Chains A and B, each alone.
Chain A
């Protein structure tokens, strides 16, 4: 896979994540106890041997850049190739809702032209899976395809995410005959927003797009191009989470509580890498009661936690009851707090005795750096 470079494109639909994306881009959304969404595509690529990766990001990039650093954890702090941060065309002003904005790539044309690899993998940053990309390349070569899209045959969108999906008409032999964003139809498969093509072909597409001023790869380019090129669908078998909204963010994290998913995603084809942090093991006190929990280093747990995900450095006070919730790093839960169906962003303190109740479909979201209860 040294002959493939990767570009992680910028997901523009930040509004779908409500408060979670107030301070961060979609790629930097915390996921699964110690990860951020970008870790999954990034690790899938580096595990396959891709060592030249560009990440397109908008102005909300602080946490993403903090997370990525030099790319050391993914082996991308390299002399040759490595990790490249590419600014999006529109800067922070996201008026367009292009699903895969080729203009973002076009403004970084130098990077694409200067790279040496024969192939480019375009991928979104919100695809949670553990996938062997070498097989995608082998498939692409075997089919002699112009474009290979990775797709899923059995993925179920949440109702609110259906319109955010891209649906493909897949013929026998894997040939894709139609691409329809937002409109599912009978027997269509779901695009995983991962595209493999030759770099020269992408450069040619970019020139065409520039002359026509049509930039949406999925919305404008593919539905037309699909008739003229050899486009194939590679079917991904196994766990998949397409994190398109705050509801699916909650749902897919809760799925990690299934040990089968935990095992496949984190102990599967390759390790998912993330920024390493120091912290002692999680500490469980005498009074703790833990059932079906996914927890991380540095947690201090005195209370009762069930069906929940705890990120680093979460403190759960004595007598607190936490069910069906996701607590991000440095959340402090006071004594006797009751939480059910809540996503609490980083660095929030919930004071003694508070109760926050949401439900599985509509979890309560608490914004970063808040203090809830106590001093009112």
Chain B
């Protein structure tokens, strides 16, 4: 097979358990985001826009939706039949020596060393399907080559008060990484690892093989492989990424990142033809907006029918909003049906949810309604992450019990 300069391994097996109901039925990279995307679209589009044409997608947790979504990769021009490379989905497998689930990020790549070997690349880019960002990996690769580095880790400046939530790099002024601390209590820098790495292929191979036989290791890049490389004095450099980057790992950060997208008019700039975010589009007619409604600061997808007030919200495709409803600071996913006179504030409404008329959704925090729930008329749902139907027959407002997060 043709030799490739750089291939990407995209980690997409994470459960994203802190997204709770949002990842109940699908892997975190497949979570819908931004009106018509799934989170993995950002990394996949970055690959296309950076000229990377070979991507291995490592899947494990509930991969059905993700697999179907990626398909042959044609949404990102990565269809494997058009050229050597393209997208390959890499689930855990068994061989004559048995087989195992992926034990960690490093282990998942280790188990697919043969996949990488067939392309015999010079560099391997490790990325994750969990992040919302637009990044040109080719610039990072260029700096990697200029530094003559063994490993380059992309970092982004985070707010100092949040620095203790991330893996923090302490570097000298040339970007040489002196120290890497996972979630430091007293951070010495605010450069957080984005989970984007470029490795020289022989070095990656050597250290993954080393890590694989270490019984103490959790087989994680951030926890084990990078610290081991630092201990052995390899040349690790930080690449300072400028731009928007979010790990949408929790319901709160998911909601916040969605609101960021709403307010940042440039992030999803359709008119920037050189840096589009691509997705597998659905066949939907244009959306219809009825007379006599107000729509402010919102993103509305194709196939929606809007006959209510929408303020600072994101509507995914084929959402139906009936007369007199008000939707504010919320995210309404594919196919949800909102009855008339419903008020929704600061909520995430799952796919194909049906909300009966005159219901009130929303409370102090972020309210999440699970996919396919059917709420009767006059329902009131406050701050909760899971709905438990208490009594199907009972009338009134307290038919749903909250289970606190």
Q: How far is the CB of A108 from chain B (nearest CB, A)?
A: 30
A33 to B288, CA, bound (A): 10
By a CB distance below 8 angstroms, the chain A residues around B298 are 283-284
In the complex the two chains form, is A294's CB within 8 Å of B287's CB? yes
In the complex the two chains form, is A281's CB within 8 Å of B283's CB? no
Q: Which of B36, B292, B299 contacts A291 (CB 8 A)?
A: B292
Is A271 in the interface zone, CB < 8 Å from B? Answer: yes
Q: How far is the CB of B64 from chain A (nearest CB, A)?
A: 22
Is A293 in the interface zone, CB < 8 Å from B? Answer: yes
Is A54 in the interface zone, CB < 8 Å from B? Answer: no
1/0 per residue, CB under 8 A from A, across B243-268: the answer is 00000000000000000000001001
By a CB distance below 8 angstroms, the chain A residues around B35 are 280-281
In the complex the two chains form, is B295's CB within 8 Å of A284's CB? yes
By a CB distance below 8 angstroms, the chain B residues around A276 are 281, 283
In the complex the two chains form, is B281's CB within 8 Å of A292's CB? no
Q: Which of A277, A282, A286, A292 contacts B300 (CB 8 A)?
A: A282
Closest to A272 in B: B285
1/0 per residue, CB under 8 A from B, across A251-288: the answer is 00000010100100111000111101111111111101
In the complex the two chains form, is B285's CB within 8 Å of A290's CB? no
* A294 and B286 in contact, given A282-B300, A288-B295 (Cβ under 8 angstroms): yes
Closest to B303 in A: A266
Closest to A263 in B: B305
A284 to B300, CA, bound (A): 8
In the complex the two chains form, is A280's CB within 8 Å of B270's CB? yes
In the complex the two chains form, is B283's CB within 8 Å of A271's CB? yes
By a CB distance below 8 angstroms, the chain A residues around B291 are 291-292, 306
In the complex the two chains form, is B286's CB within 8 Å of A32's CB? yes
Q: Which of B34, B286, B290 contacts A280 (CB 8 A)?
A: B34
By a CB distance below 8 angstroms, the chain A residues around B294 are 289
A13 to B281, CA, bound (A): 35
By a CB distance below 8 angstroms, the chain B residues around A33 are 285-286
A259 to B297, CA, bound (A): 24
A34 to B305, CA, bound (A): 16
Closest to B316 in A: A281
Give how many B residues have a beta carbon under 8 Å from the other chain's beta carbons.
35
Size category, A interface = 35 or more
**Among the listed stretches A205-213, A295-303, A350-358, which one makes contact with chain B, having 4 or more residues with CB under 8 Å of it?**
A295-303
* A280 and B299 in contact, given A291-B292, A292-B291 (Cβ under 8 angstroms): yes
Q: How far is the CB of B38 from chain A (nearest CB, A)?
A: 13
By a CB distance below 8 angstroms, the chain B residues around A280 are 34-36, 268, 270, 277, 299
In the complex the two chains form, is B285's CB within 8 Å of A284's CB? no
1/0 per residue, CB under 8 A from A, across B283-327: the answer is 101111111111111111110010000100011000000000000
In the complex the two chains form, is A297's CB within 8 Å of B302's CB? yes
A-B interface contact total, Cβ < 8 Å? 104
A274 to B296, CA, bound (A): 29
* A262 and B302 in contact, given A278-B279, A279-B270, A298-B270 (Cβ under 8 angstroms): no
Is B278 in the interface zone, CB < 8 Å from A? Answer: yes
Q: How far is the CB of B401 from chain A (nearest CB, A)?
A: 34
In the complex the two chains form, is A281's CB within 8 Å of B288's CB? no
By a CB distance below 8 angstroms, the chain B residues around A262 are 285, 288, 305
In the complex the two chains form, is B296's CB within 8 Å of A286's CB? yes
* A281 and B286 in contact, given A286-B296, A297-B302 (Cβ under 8 angstroms): no
A309 to B289, CA, bound (A): 10
In the complex the two chains form, is B265's CB within 8 Å of A73's CB? no
Is A313 in the interface zone, CB < 8 Å from B? Answer: yes
Closest to A313 in B: B270
By a CB distance below 8 angstroms, the chain B residues around A279 are 270
A306 to B301, CA, bound (A): 19
Q: Which of A32, A273, A283, A306 contacts B283 (CB 8 A)?
A: A273
A267 to B215, CA, bound (A): 58
A274 to B302, CA, bound (A): 13
Q: Which of A259, A266, A278, A282 contacts B299 (CB 8 A)?
A: A282
* A283 and B265 in contact, given A291-B292, A298-B270 (Cβ under 8 angstroms): yes
A295 to B301, CA, bound (A): 9
Q: How far is the CB of A142 from chain B (nearest CB, A)?
A: 32
A276 to B278, CA, bound (A): 11
A284 to B297, CA, bound (A): 5
1/0 per residue, CB under 8 A from A, across B131-147: the answer is 00000000000000000
Closest to B314 in A: A281
In the complex the two chains form, is B297's CB within 8 Å of A286's CB? yes
A267 to B286, CA, bound (A): 12
Q: How far is the CB of A246 from chain B (nearest CB, A)?
A: 21
By a CB distance below 8 angstroms, the chain A residues around B286 are 32-34, 294-297, 309-310
Q: Which of A32, A259, A278, A290 contacts B305 (CB 8 A)?
A: A259
1/0 per residue, CB under 8 A from A, across B38-64: the answer is 000000000000000000000000000
A309 to B286, CA, bound (A): 9
In the complex the two chains form, is B288's CB within 8 Å of A274's CB? no
In the complex the two chains form, is A281's CB within 8 Å of B299's CB? yes
In the complex the two chains form, is A259's CB within 8 Å of B314's CB? no
> Can you list 23 A-B contacts with CB-CB less than 8 angstroms, sorted by A residue number?
A34-B302, A262-B288, A262-B305, A265-B285, A276-B283, A277-B281, A278-B281, A280-B270, A280-B299, A281-B314, A284-B295, A285-B297, A286-B296, A289-B294, A290-B295, A291-B293, A292-B291, A295-B286, A295-B287, A297-B301, A298-B270, A309-B286, A313-B270
Binding site for B on A (CB under 8 A): 32-34, 73, 257, 259, 262, 265-267, 271-274, 276-286, 288-298, 300, 306, 309-310, 313
In the A-B complex, the 7 residue pairs with the closest CB atoms? A33-B286, A281-B35, A266-B285, A281-B299, A280-B268, A281-B301, A296-B286
Additional A-B contact list (16), CB under 8 Å, known A262-B305, A282-B301, A289-B294: A32-B285, A32-B286, A33-B286, A262-B288, A271-B283, A274-B283, A276-B281, A281-B36, A281-B300, A282-B300, A291-B289, A291-B290, A296-B286, A297-B36, A297-B301, A298-B270
